[in-house]
């Protein structure tokens, strides 16, 4: 009995796809929560491997940890894409949210954001904005006790020029 070549190719393709289908069947709901987007999931630990474009977020509770596949990392974490796994990593200790380990977007209470860093006090030349928790550059007019920042000799020269004969304003006696 001769089997048509199309049928053999179809059976071979189905056998080739079988391991991929079996891996996807491992996806289920574990104690750690929803396993949506997982490639490998266990009932005890949740996801351990995610689909290609998702991030693996590992939530720790005491000595246990649970994995979850997410599109965006939660506040306090940032996404790092890798060759094998995309992971959510924790922001620095003073950051509420961040773009990377070294660049904060929003600071925790009692810290002020300045050039991507969270500082306990604003650096000189800046002022703390309590409503936004940011350090903002001060305008020269905002600086206390300094009306005119030009050197004293330049201000004296301006006064002499104003006192020249023929100029409106004050004339010498």
Q: What's the mean per-residue pLDDT of the chain? A: 76
Q: Closest Cα to residue 54, out of 39, 75, 41, 32?
A: 39
Q: Closest Cα to residue 23, out of 35, 13, 8, 11?
A: 35
Place of tokens 């959510």: 88
Mean pLDDT of 38-66: 91
How would you class 27 by CB atoms within 10 Å of its CB: exposed for 0-12, middle for 13-18, buried for 19 or more? Answer: middle
Percent over 90 (pLDDT), the chain: 48
d(CA 132, CA 151): 35
Higher pLDDT residue, 166 or 114?
A: 114
d(CA 125, CA 162): 33
d(CA 6, CA 12): 10
Taking only the tens place, the pLDDT of each residue in 133-148 is 999 988 766 555 454 4
* HEC sequence for 33-63: ECCCCEEEEECCCEEEEECCCCEEEEEEECC
Higher pLDDT residue, 96 or 142?
A: 96
d(CA 72, CA 94): 21
Taking only the tens place, the pLDDT of each residue in 23-48 is 333 334 444 456 888 999 988 889 99
pLDDT for residue 43: 85
pLDDT-based confidence at 97, cuts 50/70/90?
Answer: very high
């Amino acid at each position: 009995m001769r089997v048509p070549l199309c049928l053999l190719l179809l059976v071979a393709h189905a056998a080739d796809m079988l391991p991929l289908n079996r891996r996807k069947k491992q996806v289920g709901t574990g104690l750690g929560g929803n396993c949506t987007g997982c490639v490998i999931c266990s009932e005890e630990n949740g996801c351990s491997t995610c689909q290609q474009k998702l991030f693996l977020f590992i939530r720790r509770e005491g000595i246990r940890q649970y994995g979850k596949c997410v599109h965006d990392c939660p506040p306090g974490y940032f996404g790092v894409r890798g060759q094998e796994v995309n992971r959510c990593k924790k922001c620095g200790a003073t950051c509420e949210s961040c773009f990377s380990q070294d660049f904060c977007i929003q600071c925790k209470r009692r810290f002020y954001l300045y050039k991507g860093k969270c500082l306990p006090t604003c650096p000189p030349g800046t002022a703390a904005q309590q409503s936004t928790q940011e350090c903002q550059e001060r305008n020269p007019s905002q600086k206390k006790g300094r009306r005119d920042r030009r050197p004293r000799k330049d201000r004296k020269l301006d006064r002499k020029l104003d006192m020249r004969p023929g100029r409106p304003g004050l004339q010498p006696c």
